[in-house]
C-alpha cells in the first residue's frame, strides 16, 4: 500500500525514539472545548479569515460552465461561526484569498479574467457596507495569497500554481486607498506564501525556476528587499512554501522537498538561519511562532504503518528539538498548526478513520490527548486572541483559548 523513497531502514528506530518522546511528554490536558461544526452555505468553500472579534468571512467558487468566466467567486459572512449570510457573488474567477480587518473591512483577491487572458482581481467590503465591483490588480495570472496588518493595510502576492514560467508579483492595498501597481519579485517562480504582522512587517516566500527557496522582506504598504536564497528544493511548485511572522519580526519558513520536510527561521533583526531537515519521507510541514519567539513545527512522514504526524519545538533563540509523535502511527498526515501571540498552539492532522484530530497546547503547556473535531479534509485553521477556528469538511468549529 505504501511506497518507499529513502531511508527505508531508518523508520523503525525513528518511530521508537519518537514514541518514547511522546510517552514522556504526555500530561493531563483539559477536555476538548470544540463546538459542534456548522456548515457554511454551499459554495463558500475555499478561503477563511477571522478577526479578533470573532467575525468570519469565507470565500468560495461555484462552477457554471467552462473557462474562468464560468466560475463565480462568492462570499459568506458570520459574526459567530454559527449563523451565516450569503453566498454573495462578487466576481468571476477561481482561487480566492480573503483578509479581514479588526473593524470588519474585508478584502478578497482572486484569479479572474477570461481563460485566454487571466488576471488578478479584487473586491472590498467596508465595515457595514457592500462588496465593491471587481477591480483588476494585475494583468498577470496567479493564484493569490494575502496578509493584513493591524491597521488594515493589505499585501497580496501571487504566482501560477502549474508553471514556474510566470513572475511572482505583489501589490499593496492601503486601508482606505487603492491598489498599488504590481511589483515583480522574481521573473519565474511559484509556490508563493506571505506573512504580515500587526505592525506591517512583511515577508514573501516562493520557489524559483532553479529549485531555490527564496524570500524577500518588505512592508504591508510596499517596498521589498532584493530576494535572498534560503534553501533548495526539488521538483515542481505543487509543494508550496509556508511563512509565519510574529509581531517582533521573528519568522519561520517551511517547505517540503521531494523527500524531506525543511524549515528555516529568521531573527528579529532579519537574519535567516541555515535550513533544518525535520524529517525524511516527507508528507507535509507547517509551523507557527508566538511573540516571544517560541516556534513549533508539525510535520508528517511516510512510514509502513501509515503517515504519522510529529511535532518539534524550538525555544526562542534556540534550535529545533527532537521529534515527538503526536498522532497514531496509522494516521494519514495532512498536518497544520496555528498559534497566537501569547503562545497557544493548535496542532491538527487526519487520523486513520478520516477525522481531523486536534491538540491545543496552552502557553508553556505540554502535549496532551487529541480530540476529534470533524471529518477531513481540513480546509483552514486560524488561531486568534481568545479563539481557535477550525474549518473542515464537517463545517466550522470553534474553541476558546488562553
What's the count of helices (H) and strands (E) in the chain, helices before strands?
1, 31
Answer yes or no: is 83 within a domain: no
Domain count, the chain: 1
Answer yes or no: is 3 within a domain: no
**Structure confidence at residue 115 (pLDDT):** 83
Answer yes or no: is 287 within a domain: yes
Answer yes or no: is 73 within a domain: no
Distance CA 238, CA 146 (A): 19
Q: How far is CA 115 from the centre of its chain?
A: 27
CATH of the domain at 282: 2.130.10.10
Residue 116 contacts by C-beta under 8 Å, 6 or more apart in sequence?
none
Distance CA 196, CA 255 (A): 18
Answer yes or no: is 63 within a domain: no
Report the DSSP pairing between strands 94-100 and 143-148.
Answer: unpaired
Answer yes or no: is 105 within a domain: yes
The per-residue pLDDT string of the chain (402 residues; one tens digit each, 9 = 90 and over) reads 333 333 333 333 343 333 333 333 343 445 579 999 999 999 999 999 999 999 999 999 999 776 667 899 999 999 999 999 999 999 999 999 999 999 999 999 999 998 888 999 999 999 999 999 999 999 988 999 999 999 999 999 998 665 556 789 999 999 999 999 999 999 988 899 999 999 999 999 999 888 899 999 999 998 999 999 999 987 655 688 999 999 999 999 999 988 899 999 999 999 999 999 999 999 999 999 999 999 999 999 999 999 999 999 999 999 999 999 999 999 999 999 999 999 999 999 999 999 999 999 999 899 989 999 999 999 999 999 899 999 999 999 999 997
3-class DSSP assignment, residue 285: strand
Distance CA 380, CA 100 (A): 15
Answer yes or no: is 189 within a domain: yes
DSSP 8-class letter at 37: P
DSSP 8-class letter at 69: G
Answer yes or no: is 74 within a domain: no
**Structural domain span for residue 292:** 11-40+94-400
Tell me the pTM: 0.90
Amino acid at each position: 500500500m505504501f511506497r518507499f523513497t529513502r531511508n527505508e531502514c531508518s523508520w523503525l528506530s525513528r518511530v521508537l525514539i519518537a514514541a518514547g518522546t511522546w510517552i514522556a511528554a504526555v500530561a493531563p490536558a483539559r477536555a476538548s472545548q470544540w463546538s459542534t461544526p456548522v456548515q457554511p452555505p454551499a459554495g463558500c468553500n475555499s478561503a477563511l479569515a477571522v478577526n479578533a472579534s470573532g467575525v468570519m468571512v469565507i470565500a468560495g467558487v461555484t462552477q457554471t460552465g467552462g473557462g474562468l468566466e464560468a466560475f463565480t467567486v462568492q462570499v459568506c459572512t458570520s459574526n459567530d461561526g454559527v449563523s451565516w449570510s450569503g453566498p454573495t457573488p462578487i466576481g468571476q474567477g477561481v482561487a480566492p484569498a480573503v483578509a479581514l480587518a479588526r473593524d470588519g473591512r474585508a478584502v478578497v483577491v482572486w484569479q479572474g479574467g477570461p481563460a485566454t487572458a487571466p488576471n488578478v482581481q479584487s473586491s472590498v467590503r467596508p465595515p457595514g457596507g457592500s462588496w465593491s465591483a471587481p477591480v483588476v490588480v494585475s494583468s498577470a495570472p496567479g493564484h493569490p495569497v494575502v496578509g493584513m496588518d493591524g491597521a488594515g493595510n493589505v499585501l497580496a502576492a501571487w504566482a501560477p500554481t502549474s508553471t514556474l514560467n510566470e513572475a511572482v508579483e505583489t501589490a499593496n492595498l492601503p486601508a482606505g486607498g487603492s491598489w498599488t501597481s504590481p511589483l515583480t519579485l522574481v521573473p519565474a517562480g511559484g509556490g508563493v506564501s506571505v506573512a504580515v504582522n500587526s505592525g506591517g512587517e512583511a515577508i514573501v516566500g516562493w520557489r524559483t525556476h532553479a529549485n531555490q527557496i527564496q524570500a524577500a522582506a518588505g512592508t504591508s504598504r510596499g517596498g521589498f528587499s532584493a530576494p535572498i536564497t534560503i534553501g533548495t528544493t526539488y521538483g515542481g511548485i505543487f509543494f508550496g512554501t509556508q511563512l509565519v511572522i510574529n509581531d517582533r519580526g521573528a519568522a519561520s519558513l517551511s517547505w517540503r522537498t521531494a523527500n524531506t520536510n525543511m524549515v528555516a527561521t529568521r531573527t528579529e533583526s532579519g537574519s535567516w538561519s541555515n535550513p533544518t531537515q525535520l524529517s525524511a519521507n516527507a508528507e507535509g510541514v507547517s509551523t507557527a511562532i508566538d511573540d516571544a519567539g517560541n516556534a513549533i513545527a508539525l510535520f508528517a512522514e511516510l512510514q509502513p504503518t501509515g503517515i504519522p504526524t510529529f511535532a518539534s519545538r524550538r525555544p526562542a533563540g534556540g534550535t529545533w528539538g527532537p521529534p515527538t509523535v503526536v498522532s497514531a502511527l496509522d494516521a494519514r498526515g495532512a498536518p497544520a498548526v496555528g498559534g497566537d501571540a501569547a503562545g497557544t498552539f493548535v496542532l491538527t492532522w487526519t487520523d486513520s478513520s478520516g477525522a481531523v484530530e486536534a491538540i491545543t497546547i496552552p502557553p508553556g503547556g505540554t502535549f496532551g490527548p487529541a480530540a476529534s473535531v470533524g471529518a477531513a479534509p481540513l480546509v483552514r485553521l486560524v488561531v486568534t486572541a481568545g479563539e481557535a477556528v477550525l474549518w473542515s469538511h464537517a463545517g466550522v468549529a470553534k474553541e476558546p483559548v488562553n
